[in-house]
Amino acid sequence: DVVARMLDRAVSELSGEKDPAKAWKRYFRPNDTVGVKMTRCQWMRVHTHDEVVNAISRRIEDCGVKKERIHTRDYGLPVEACTALVNVPTIKVHTLTGIAVSIKNYINFTGKESSYHFEGSAKLGEAWLLPHVKGKTRLIVVDALRPYFGPGPQINPLHQWDYKALIVGTDPVAIDTVCLALCQRKRNLFKGEEWPITPPPKSIAAADTEYHLGTSDPRKIKLVKLGWQKDVLI
């Protein structure tokens, strides 16, 4: 399975363990209850691919976590009962929040999603500090197989492309910073000129400076690129 091999290679690189089995055990223990938070908005159609979710679930099970304690869904994830979370978003340019990747993926943990769907959505980082969420995220796996560079959330097929990548890390701010740069680069290439993402996604800088969830400074982000480098864009 190509996706599973991509995932293992990324997690091994991230953890520093050559053996994928040992690499995954750096993040999950047999007594964990794990929530795999995917993106599955029925009308948006930029879904986390089943192949990505299934590969993650299999590896968590290989860590000794019983299948009944691995929860994979978007809405209705029993986050209060989870001891560990895996954030598995897609990449979408969004007309209300600027961009939707890992920071925004926890919006439905708030129970008041509409409160965060306004221009720029600087407060999206609040979701990560809720008592039932804070400190539980062990891994972020961005499904970048077919990102959407917008505008959206409504889908225009011309604005989705085969990037065929996974972006893996533990810092949601750094990951969203990289994904923002990727989408901006793709937009510029598509138009042949600067095509700024609007509104500016304030949530990324705010997640850094106000909520202290990670770094948005590209100079401090270590980006390791594995595999085929053609059209990587970042």
> Percentage of the chain surpassing pLDDT 70?
95
What confidence tier does 81 reach under pLDDT thresholds 50, 70, 90? very high
Beta strand ranges found along the chain (DSSP E)? 34-38, 70-73, 84-88, 92-94, 98-100, 137-144, 165-169
pLDDT at 120 over 60: no
What pLDDT does residue 97 have?
Answer: 84
Residue owning tokens 């399975």: 1
What pLDDT does residue 124 have?
Answer: 93
Helical ranges in the chain per DSSP H = 2-15, 20-25, 50-62, 172-191, 202-209
Q: Which two tokens stand for residue 177?
A: 């910073």
What pLDDT does residue 187 have?
Answer: 97
The per-residue pLDDT for range 133-186, each reduced to its tens digit, is: 999 999 999 999 999 998 866 688 899 999 999 999 999 999 999 999 999 999
What confidence tier does 9 reach under pLDDT thresholds 50, 70, 90? very high
What confidence tier does 199 reach under pLDDT thresholds 50, 70, 90? confident
Q: Return all residues near 227 (Cβ < 8 A) that are at least 6 apart.
A: 6, 9
Q: Of 45, 158, 125, 127, which is closest to residue 92 (Cα–Cα)?
A: 45
Residue owning tokens 């895996």: 86
The per-residue pLDDT for range 210-228, each reduced to its tens digit, is: 999 999 999 999 999 999 9
What pLDDT does residue 113 have?
Answer: 76
pLDDT at 43 over 70: no
> Percentage of the chain surpassing pLDDT 90?
80
Q: Where are the domains of the chain?
A: 2-220
Q: In whole angstroms, what is the distance from residue 69 CA to residue 63 CA?
A: 12
Q: For the chain, how many residues are written?
A: 234
Query: CA quadruple 205, 14, 146, 104: dihedral positive or negative?
Result: negative
What confidence tier does 72 reach under pLDDT thresholds 50, 70, 90? very high
Say whether 35 sits in a helix, a strand or coil: strand
What pLDDT does residue 20 have?
Answer: 98
Say whether 94 sits in a helix, a strand or coil: strand
Distance (Å) of CA 119 to CA 26, 94, 122, 124, 155: 38, 10, 8, 11, 19
Cβ pair 183, 28 in contact under 8 A: no
HSE-CB of 180 using CA atoms within 13 angstroms = 26
Q: Which two tokens stand for residue 146?
A: 């077919």
Cβ pair 91, 101 in contact under 8 A: yes
Least confident residue range of 5-9, 136-140, 200-204? 200-204
- Mean per-residue pLDDT over the chain, rounded: 93
Which class for 154: exposed (0-12), middle (13-18), buried (19 or more C-beta within 10 A)?
exposed
